[in-house]
Chains A and B, each alone.
Chain A
Amino acid sequence: AQTVTQSQPEMSVQEAETVTLSCTYDTSESDYYLFWYKQPPSRQMILVIRQEAYKQQNATENRFSVNFQKAAKSFSLKISDSQLGDAAMYFCAHIARGGTSYGKLTFGQGTILTVHP
């Protein structure tokens, strides 16, 4: 079974500053993806960034980057130059491409990010 743990229920950051959200996971699969999703009050789940387990290079999408430590099963999200629109609940998630958990997204508990002007 897959588990995803986010140990920071809430984080805050000043506008234009950098913040890092933490995530650890456990999986028995070797072929999987990890994600960070953003869910604003509108409830729409928005994909922020994706990391394939086989790729050693950390994924980057504009101001968003990850630190993927496969051996430690750690997957943190760094938001640079934080903007007011980044305020939301952030979820770390895992999906296996094979095995008994194929195609099932497993989410962490979420981290509420507040951005102060």
Chain B
Amino acid sequence: DAGVTQSPTHLIKTRGQQVTLRCSPKSGHDTVSWYQQALGQGPQFIFQYYEEEERQRGNFPDRFSGHQFPNYSSELNVNALLLGDSALYLCASSRTDIIYEQYFGPGTRLTVT
């Protein structure tokens, strides 16, 4: 059983560009949460998707948007990239009835130059 997978592993973008990160949840999971982890810091909650809808959102600007597909996979989109968006982006999946059991993917390291 594959765990949570994320792609790509690393990417480098230029300020002002747009980026899309992808996440496939663990088999049997229907909820996907995204977190941003700046270097040396704890992860910060961005948003959570369930039934293809954004169910919860953290304190992130509208430049951060997402999507969940019928197969429960998810995308995180960031527009108008800033240097401060450089971070490790973590995806976590869970079952909505066991929301406290969140399994994390390996993350995508985004560098904005």
Give the interface of A toward B (CB within 8 A).
4, 33, 42-46, 50, 91, 93, 95, 97, 101-110
Q: Mark B11-43, 1 if CB is under 8 A from A, else 0.
A: 000000000000000000001010100001111
Given the contacts A95-B100, A97-B100, A110-B40, A105 and B92 also touching, CB distance less than 8 Å:
yes
**Cα of A103 to Cα of B43 in the assembled complex, Å:** 14
Chain B residues whose C-beta falls within 8 Å of the C-beta of A108 in the assembled complex: 42
Chain B residues whose C-beta falls within 8 Å of the C-beta of A46 in the assembled complex: 104
Q: Ordered nearest first, which 5 A-B pairs have the shortest CB separation?
A: A107-B42, A45-B104, A103-B99, A33-B100, A104-B45
Chain B residues whose C-beta falls within 8 Å of the C-beta of A44 in the assembled complex: 104, 106-107
Contact B35 A43 (CB under 8 A): no
- State how many angstroms separate the Cβ of B82 from the closest Cβ of chain A: 22
**Cα of A36 to Cα of B76 in the assembled complex, Å:** 26
Residues of B in contact (CB 8 Å), total 25
Give the interface of B toward A (CB within 8 A).
31, 33, 35, 40-45, 48, 55-56, 58, 88, 90, 92, 94, 96, 99-100, 102, 104, 106-107, 109
**Besides the contacts A4-B42, A44-B106, what 9 more A-B pairs have beta carbons closer than 8 Å?**
A44-B104, A95-B102, A97-B99, A102-B56, A103-B55, A103-B99, A107-B43, A109-B42, A110-B42
Contact A104 B106 (CB under 8 A): no
**17 intermolecular pairs with C-beta atoms under 8 Å apart:** A43-B88, A43-B106, A43-B107, A50-B100, A91-B42, A95-B99, A95-B102, A101-B56, A102-B56, A103-B96, A104-B33, A105-B35, A105-B45, A105-B92, A105-B102, A106-B45, A110-B40
